């Protein structure tokens, strides 16, 4: 709701300024009635003497300049909105990556601990058969786990 009102504000300002410009350019009639009361109206009195009060011949602000200013403000607002959305997305991505790194760090530490317990691990092959991990495979797995810890546990 707040963003909607903020995006409509320049348009409302433009409409308001156009209304006041038209009112300023309209003729205003002034007259005094039989009781001595002074009246101002956009329509002349039905009878009696009156004076015509003219508004300024042109608006105080150039409408083209005002529209240009409004367009610039709208562009600046949209840029700020896009930048904020981009920053929000980057922050969400960074938080997601941090959470994923923490998860991977914990898993790498768990794997390293398991590999260093001197228990021989059974490895399941793709064909369904199993074999015990050799010392060479175990050392390679330990090295890989240590590299993962360096990478994920910053």
The pLDDT tens digits of the residues spanning 119-148 come to: 778 888 889 888 888 888 888 988 999 999
* Residue 35, C-beta contacts closer than 8 angstroms, at least 6 positions apart: none
In this predicted structure, the answer to whether residue 64 has a pLDDT above a threshold of 50 is: yes
C-alpha to C-alpha distance for 122 and 129, rounded to whole angstroms: 10
pLDDT for res 42: 80
In this predicted structure, the answer to whether residue 1 has a pLDDT above a threshold of 80 is: no
pTM beyond cutoff 0.75? no
pLDDT for res 62: 82
pLDDT for res 119: 73
In this predicted structure, the answer to whether residue 29 has a pLDDT above a threshold of 80 is: yes
What's the pLDDT tens digit per position in 94-125?
A: 999 999 999 999 999 998 888 888 777 888 88
| pLDDT greater at residue 11 or residue 146 | 146
What band does 14 get if pLDDT is binned at 50, 70 and 90? low
In this predicted structure, the answer to whether residue 37 has a pLDDT above a threshold of 60 is: yes
Cα angle 103, 105, 106 (rounded to 5 degrees) comes to 65
**Could you tell me what percent of the chain has a pLDDT over 90?**
34
What stretch of H or E contains 63? Answer: helix 63-115
What's the pLDDT tens digit per position in 71-91?
A: 999 999 999 999 999 999 999
Burial class (CB in 10 A: 0-12, 13-18, 19+), 82: exposed
């Amino acid at each position: 709701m707040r963003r909607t009102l903020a995006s409509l504000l320049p348009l409302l300002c433009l409409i308001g300024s156009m209304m006041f410009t038209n009112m300023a350019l309209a003729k205003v009639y002034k007259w005094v009635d039989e009781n001595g009361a002074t009246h101002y109206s956009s329509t002349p009195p039905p009878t009696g003497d009156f004076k015509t009060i003219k508004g300024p011949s042109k608006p105080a602000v150039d409408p083209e300049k005002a529209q240009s200013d409004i367009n610039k403000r709208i562009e600046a607002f949209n840029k700020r909105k896009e930048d904020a959305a981009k920053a929000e997305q980057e922050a969400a991505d960074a938080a997601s990556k941090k959470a994923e790194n923490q998860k991977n760090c914990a898993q790498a530490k768990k794997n390293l601990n398991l590999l260093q317990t001197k228990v021989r691990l059974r490895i399941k092959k793709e064909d369904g058969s199993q074999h015990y991990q050799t010392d060479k495979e175990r050392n390679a797995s330990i090295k890989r786990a240590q590299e993962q810890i360096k990478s994920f546990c910053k």
